[in-house]
C-alpha cells in the first residue's frame, strides 16, 4: 500500500533532551490583573526573521518535522498568565516589583516557534523566559509587547487560529491536552522492532491521553495460554504474525485506544501485507538509530520510507531513537505526540479520513479510499477515490 503523502519524523536523543531539571510552565501561578497603565506598544513587524524553517518541500512525498529538544524552556519565574484568545495568544510575565523599567530594558525576540524574553536588571540581562518550542507556530512580525504596571505583556498572532493552545510552550502536559482536539478519538498504534519499547511508550501515551492501553502480546498470550517465544518454537513466526493480524482486525473499530504491537519478524506490523487494519489509526514507528545528529536521522528515515518491503515504512510518523533507557519512555511518548501534532495540523482531514476508512470496512485501500462497494479482490483498474 502507498504511504501517506506527508509524514513526520522526530529525532530523540537523551543528550539533546535534558528532560529532568527543567522548570515547567505547565502549571502557572495565576495573577490578578489590576487596571492597565500602558507604557507604549512595541512591534516586531519590521524585523527580519531567518531562523524559522519547517524542513518541508512543497509537493514532496515526505515532509519532516523535527525537534532537538522537547519543551526546551528556561525561565527565572513561574509567575505568569497565559490566555488563548482565538486568533492570538497573550503571555503576561510578572516583572520584579519596586523597579522602574523603560522599553530599552526589555528584549523580546520572537521567531516562528521560539520566544525569548529578557530584562536588563542592574546592568545584567536576565532571562525571564526562553523556549525554542512554542506550542505552535506564530507570525513573528505580528508580535507586539508592552509594559502594563508590573507585568510584561507579549501578544502573539497564531498561524493556525483554529488550534486551541493549552499553554504557551509545547510540553507533555500541553501536548496531552491539546492532542484531544486533533485526534478526535482516533486510536494510536505503536510499531517498531522492539516489543518492550512499544509497550512502554504505549502505556505512557495511554496515561497521558486518557486512552485505553492495549497490548497485542498480552492478548495473544492470554488467548493461546503460552508465551510468544514458545508459540514461535511450536508453530513458527508466520503463525504468530497471522494471529496478531487477527487481533488487530478485532481492535480496528475501537476508538480512544493506544495499541502496542509485537516487534521483530514475528510481528504483523513488520510485514507490509499485514497493514490493512493498522491503517485504521495513527501509527508511530519507534525506530532505534545510530545517527548522531538530526539531519542524519531524517535522511535515514527518508530511506526507510522508500523501502516498501518493510512494513514499518507505512507508518504515519517516525521517532528516531538514539539509544534506549526505559526511564525515557515518557520523553519518547512526548516526541511521538509532537510528530503526530505536526502531521495532523498539516492535514486536519486525516482523523475524519481514518474514521471513513473504518466505516467502509478497513479494505486496505489507504490512503486512496475507494467508493462503497469496492472489492479489492476484483479490482481490475483505476477507480475514483475519496480525497
pLDDT of residue 53: 28
pLDDT of residue 72: 42
**218 belongs to a structural domain:** yes
Together in a domain, 202 and 346 = yes
pLDDT of residue 63: 33
Taking 80 as the threshold, does the pLDDT of residue 93 lie above it? Answer: yes
Together in a domain, 142 and 182 = no
pLDDT of residue 1: 28
Together in a domain, 37 and 145 = yes
Taking 90 as the threshold, does the pLDDT of residue 58 lie above it? Answer: no
pLDDT of residue 40: 54
pLDDT of residue 98: 61
How far does Cα 230 stand from its chain's mean position? Answer: 36
Domain that holds residue 258: 172-360
Written as one string, the DSSP assignment of 117-153 is: EEEEETTEEEEEEEES-BSS-B-GGG-EEEEETTEEE
pLDDT band at residue 333 under the 50/70/90 scheme: very high
**376 belongs to a structural domain:** no
Q: Which of 111, 129, 157 is the last residue of a domain?
A: 157
Together in a domain, 199 and 341 = yes
Together in a domain, 300 and 179 = yes
CATH number, domain with residue 34: 2.60.40.790
Order of all β-strands in the sheet with 212-215: 8-12, 317-321, 282-288, 188-191, 257-260, 212-215
Together in a domain, 221 and 151 = no
**37 belongs to a structural domain:** yes
Taking 90 as the threshold, does the pLDDT of residue 142 lie above it? Answer: yes
Structural domain tally of the chain?
Answer: 2
Together in a domain, 281 and 151 = no
pLDDT of residue 15: 53
pLDDT of residue 54: 30
pTM value surpassing 0.75? yes
**367 belongs to a structural domain:** no
Together in a domain, 328 and 214 = yes
pLDDT of residue 283: 98
Mean pLDDT for all residues in the chain: 81
Name the range with the highest mean pLDDT among 5-19, 142-156, 253-267.
253-267
Query: What count of residues does the chain have?
Result: 387
pLDDT of residue 9: 65
pLDDT of residue 73: 47
**366 belongs to a structural domain:** no
Taking 90 as the threshold, does the pLDDT of residue 244 lie above it? Answer: yes
Residues 6+ apart with CB under 8 A from 289: 11, 297, 300, 320, 321, 322
Q: Which of 125, 157, 189 is the last residue of a domain?
A: 157
* Range of lowest pLDDT (32-41, 226-235, 317-326, 346-355): 32-41
- Residue 209 CB coordination number (10 Å): 21
CATH number, domain with residue 213: 3.40.50.300
- SS3 call for 374: coil
**137 belongs to a structural domain:** yes
Together in a domain, 58 and 122 = yes
Together in a domain, 277 and 234 = yes
Nearest Cα residue to 55 out of 46, 47, 63: 63
Together in a domain, 323 and 350 = yes
**151 belongs to a structural domain:** yes
**19 belongs to a structural domain:** no
Q: Which of 99, 123, 157 is the last residue of a domain?
A: 157
Helix 329-346 and helix 172-183, axial crossing angle in degrees, nearest 10: 40
Together in a domain, 152 and 178 = no
pLDDT band at residue 372 under the 50/70/90 scheme: very high
Amino acid at each position: 500500500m502507498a504511504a501517506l503523502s506527508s509524514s513526520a519524523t522526530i529525532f530523540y536523543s537523551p543528550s539533546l533532551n535534558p528532560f529532568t531539571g527543567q522548570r515547567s510552565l505547565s502549571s502557572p501561578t495565576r495573577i490578578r490583573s489590576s487596571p492597565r497603565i500602558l507604557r507604549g506598544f512595541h512591534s516586531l513587524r519590521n524585523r527580519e526573521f531567518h531562523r524559522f524553517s519547517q524542513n518541508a518541500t512543497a509537493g514532496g512525498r515526505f515532509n519532516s518535522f523535527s525537534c532537538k529538544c522537547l519543551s526546551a524552556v528556561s525561565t527565572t519565574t513561574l509567575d505568569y498568565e497565559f490566555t488563548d484568545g482565538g486568533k492570538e495568544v497573550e503571555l503576561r510575565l510578572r516583572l520584579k516589583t519596586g523597579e522602574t523599567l523603560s522599553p530599552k530594558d526589555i528584549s523580546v525576540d520572537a521567531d516562528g516557534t521560539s520566544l525569548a524574553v529578557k530584562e536588563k536588571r542592574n546592568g545584567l540581562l536576565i532571562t525571564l523566559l526562553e523556549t525554542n518550542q512554542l506550542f505552535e507556530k506564530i507570525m513573528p512580525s505580528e508580535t507586539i509587547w508592552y509594559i502594563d504596571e508590573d507585568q510584561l505583556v507579549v501578544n502573539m498572532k497564531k498561524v493556525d487560529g483554529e488550534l486551541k493552545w493549552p499553554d504557551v510552550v509545547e510540553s507533555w502536559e500541553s501536548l496531552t491536552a491539546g492532542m484531544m482536539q486533533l485526534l478526535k478519538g482516533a486510536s494510536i498504534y505503536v510499531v517498531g522492532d522492539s516489543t518492550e519499547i512499544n509497550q512502554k511508550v504505549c502505556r505512557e501515551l495511554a496515561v497521558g491521553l486518557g486512552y485505553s492501553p492495549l497490548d497485542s502480546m498480552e492478548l495473544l498470550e492470554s488467548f493461546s495460554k503460552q508465551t510468544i517465544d514458545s508459540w514461535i518454537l511450536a508453530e513458527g513466526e508466520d503463525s504468530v504474525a497471522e494471529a496478531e493480524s487477527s487481533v488487530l482486525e478485532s481492535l480496528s473499530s475501537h476508538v480512544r485506544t493506544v495499541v502496542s504491537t509485537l516487534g521483530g519478524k514475528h510481528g504483523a506490523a513488520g510485514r507490509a501485507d499485514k497493514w490493512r487494519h493498522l491503517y485504521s489509526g495513527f501509527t508511530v514507528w519507534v525506530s532505534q538509530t545510530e545517527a548522531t545528529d538530526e539531519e542524519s536521522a531524517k535522511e535515514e528515515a527518508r530511506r526507510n520510507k522508500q523501502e516498501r518491503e518493510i512494513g514499518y515504512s507505512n507508518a504515519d510518523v517516525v521517532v528516531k531513537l538514539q539509544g534506549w533507557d526505559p526511564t525515557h519512555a515518557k520523553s519518547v511518548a512526548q516526541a511521538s505526540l509532537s510528530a503526530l501534532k505536526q502531521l495532523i495540523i498539516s492535514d486536519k482531514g486525516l482523523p475524519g479520513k481514518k474514521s471513513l476508512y473504518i466505516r467502509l470496512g478497513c479494505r486496505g485501500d489507504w490512503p486512496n479510499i475507494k467508493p462503497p462497494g469496492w472489492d479489492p479482490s476484483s479490482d481490475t483498474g483505476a477507480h475514483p477515490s475519496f480525497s
